[in-house]
């Protein structure tokens, strides 16, 4: 044990064991009794090889839901930047996020389309849909039919994909739009169609 000689003679290992382990006093309380700081008491415990008790949150108020200033949020962001989660913590986060998906989510609306998302994505990746997309692009000469743009093109179903399964691969039900024009359509994303 090094630096034992620096510890005052009236502070012994037996005293610290009695106060800290037997009587369950905090470092703050012990510090007041022996007229030392919390940090100094903690150092004495370490030097005598006395293991710290597990941290208790008893009596502490949680800050869950606290409104933080932008400055505080930025400090937290910088502190956490680049930190990696342990595999156990990562699994716990994924499990928590998955517990709020689908019909367990507060924003659940019973499913927007009659076809669930997995089936919908499988349908969109078929050879027929690829053929339909290429046919519409070729017909419209790879140009947005609204503004004439030739980059960032989407092929849009005029009658919604989910509501009109019989028109999914009809070339007449398709149009070439740039991303900006596609976002302006009545049926883009989660907008309710007015058809």
- Asked if the model's pLDDT at residue 5 lies above 60, the reply is no
- pTM value? 0.42
pLDDT at res. 1 = 46
What distance in Å separates the CA atoms of residue 115 and residue 127, rounded to the nearest whole number?
19
pLDDT tens, position by position, 175-185: 999 999 999 99
In this structure, are residues 173 and 157 in contact, taking their beta carbons and an 8 Å threshold? yes
Rounded (to 5) percent helix, strand, coil in the chain: 45, 5, 50
Indicate the burial class of 16 (C-beta count within 10 angstroms; 0-12, 13-18, 19 or more): buried
Q: How confident is the model at residue 109 (pLDDT cuts 50, 70, 90)?
A: confident
- Asked if the model's pLDDT at residue 3 lies above 60, the reply is no
| Residue 53 CB coordination number (10 Å) | 11
The CA–CA distances, whole Å, from 55 to 24, 27, 29, 31, 50 equal: 12, 12, 16, 18, 15
pLDDT tens, position by position, 142-193: 999 999 999 999 999 999 888 888 999 999 999 999 999 999 998 887 776 6
- Asked if the model's pLDDT at residue 30 lies above 80, the reply is yes
Please state the separation of Cα 98 from the chain's center in Å. Answer: 11
């Amino acid at each position: 044990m090094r630096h034992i000689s620096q510890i005052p003679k009236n502070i012994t290992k037996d005293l610290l064991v009695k106060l800290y382990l037997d009587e369950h006093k905090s470092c703050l309380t012990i510090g007041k009794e022996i007229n030392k700081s919390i940090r100094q008491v903690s150092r004495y415990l370490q030097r005598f090889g006395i293991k710290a008790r597990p941290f208790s949150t008893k009596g502490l108020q949680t800050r869950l839901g606290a409104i933080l200033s932008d400055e505080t949020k930025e400090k937290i962001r910088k502190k956490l930047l680049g930190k990696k989660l342990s595999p156990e913590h990562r699994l716990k986060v994924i499990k928590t996020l998955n517990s709020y998906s689908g019909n367990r989510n507060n924003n659940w609306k019973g499913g927007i389309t009659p076809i669930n998302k997995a089936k919908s994505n499988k349908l969109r990746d078929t050879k027929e849909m690829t053929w339909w997309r290429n046919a519409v692009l070729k017909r419209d000469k790879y140009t947005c039919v609204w503004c004439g743009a030739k980059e960032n093109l989407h092929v849009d179903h005029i009658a919604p994909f989910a509501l009109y399964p019989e028109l999914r691969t009809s070339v007449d039900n398709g149009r070439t739009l740039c991303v900006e024009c596609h976002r302006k359509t009545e049926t883009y994303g989660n907008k309710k169609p007015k058809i």
